Amino acid sequence: MSDARKTADIPGSFAGMGPLMLVWSGQAVSLVGSAAVRFAFIIEVWSAGEQATAVTILSLCAMLPQAVFSPIAGAIVDRIPKRAALQLADAGGLVVVGSLALLHYLGALQSWQIYPATVLLGVCAAFQFPALSSAVPLLVRKDQLGRANGLLAGAKSAAGIGGPALGGLLVAVFGIGPTLLVDVASYAFALIGIRVVRLKGDVVVKDTTGAPRRRITADAAEGLRYLFRVPSLRDLIVNFCLVNLVMVFGFALISPMVLLRADTGALAAVNSAIGIGGVAGALLMAAWGGPKNRGRGMMLGVVGMCLSGLVAMGLAGGVVGWCVAILIGALLMTTVNASMQAIVQTKVPHEWQGRVFGAVMFLSQISVPLAMAVSGPLADHVFEPAAADGSGIFTVLGPLVGDGPGSGMAAMLFLAGVGGTAIALWGLASRSIRDIDVLLLDFDAPGEPEASGMPEAHDAPRGKSGSRPGGERDEVHA
């Protein structure tokens, strides 16, 4: 056997990841360009009236369309080749940003136009996650999925660090017009990377039963049904949704807590630590590939996220402590998310992955506005006054978080961390989550057609004779 063949057969090696790196490089450049433009948008709407509400509405314009449209986007992704879906997402962003650039150079760009443009970019982003996540198994071997997902997460974290800095520099030196052109060029670069790479097995499964094609909304709902039809996937996604709700509830308070207890320089350091932690987690996943027992590893990772990113953040009393705590939390979050994606990529038939990833995005993001809307008023009107008075729960938590400005929010971070840890420990105690790699069979053939309708969910790997270890089976209920 040749040395090249031996290298390609080494489990966990980087051999054969060239196609992924082509796509990854294009997406990394596009993410940086998009982050720069988002920062430029914030500056533009702020300069129009210096209203915090305007910035908040801009954030909602980006977030809500991505969450709400994700199930439909996932259904569309499953109806077309993955290359076409990726091109649709990037080409849509190019057209939107290019249109804004054209308006700017024609002298017709107004600040209100940024809001509908941000909504359209959110719709394009709704395509990006299910399309890219379901394309990864066509680019790398199954044992490389953790590494691949880590690299993609690292690109997003790096863009979170470099994008705002680039956007601020471009706007300050050249104005918003050239900043928009840079993002147009980044989308074009991403499209080239997608176009030149070969996606093995990128075929659309056709229904040969002759049944009438379902509406796109019905297909979108099937992604949600699939998640809740399979017990292990259902329990995992419910656990993740609850953890996400608790963590967003706490994370929404980090910025105001740091500003009350320190200054803008401290907040900048904390935000940088989040990006650095994300990049470090991506590098760790790229080198390691993720835990062998992904269910157990994810739940332990979530425990670590809650203890570091929430509990330790609430108890830490200075910038160094905050940065270390949030860096560790961001590192663990990257490894957990990469492992979660790898589970869907291996346990869900490829022709269903667009819909399932769309459903995952919807369920994980839809709780964000609720958590953010509740956490602020609770902090301002309940926890901060109680912390200052030393009343209620602060008779116990006061010695831990203090009674100065920001102490009420620190207590909320602490309580959110304790709640998230309890939810993650429940997941760790649940066999359906802890042993998901054993209970669910891998689908090794991307694009292999199912007869029609909902595919049967396999729950334990069969041996060569078709038997399951121990004869146990998770029942699948319709």
- Please indicate, yes or no, whether residues 135 and 258 belong to a single structural domain of this protein: no
Asked which of 179, 199, 219 is the last residue of a domain, the reply is: 199
Reply yes or no on whether the pLDDT at 465 is more than 70. Answer: no
Lookup: tokens for 335 = 């490894």
Q: Is the dihedral of CA 131, 134, 140, 145 positive or negative?
A: positive
For 78-87, 319-328, 444-453, which range has the lowest pLDDT when averaged over its residues?
444-453
pLDDT (average), residues 24-43: 89
CB 223 within 8 A of CB 229: no
The pLDDT assigned to 212 comes to 62
**Nearest-angstrom CA–CA distance, 25 and 258:** 35
CB 305 within 8 A of CB 332: yes
What was the pLDDT predicted at 186? 95
Residue 268: inside a domain: yes
Q: Is position 391 within any domain?
A: yes
The whole-chain average pLDDT of the chain stands at 84
What domain range is 26 assigned to? 14-199
CATH number where 314 lies: 1.20.1250
pLDDT at 118: 92
Classify the phi-psi angles of 16: left when phi > 0, otherwise alpha if psi is within -120 to 50, otherwise beta: left
Q: At 430, phi and psi to the nearest 5?
A: -85, 120
Asked whether residue 468 is domain-assigned, the answer is no
Assess contact for 406 and 385: CB atoms under 8 A: no
pLDDT tens for 135-158 read: 999 998 888 898 999 988 888 888
Mean pLDDT of 368-379: 80
Task: Provide the CATH number for the domain around residue 162.
Answer: 1.20.1250.20
- CA–CA separation, 415 and 407 (whole Å): 12
Do the domain assignments include residue 145?
Answer: yes
Portion of the chain with pLDDT greater than 70, in percent: 86
Q: Total domain count for the chain? A: 2
pTM: 0.79
Whether residues 182 and 244 share a domain: the answer is no
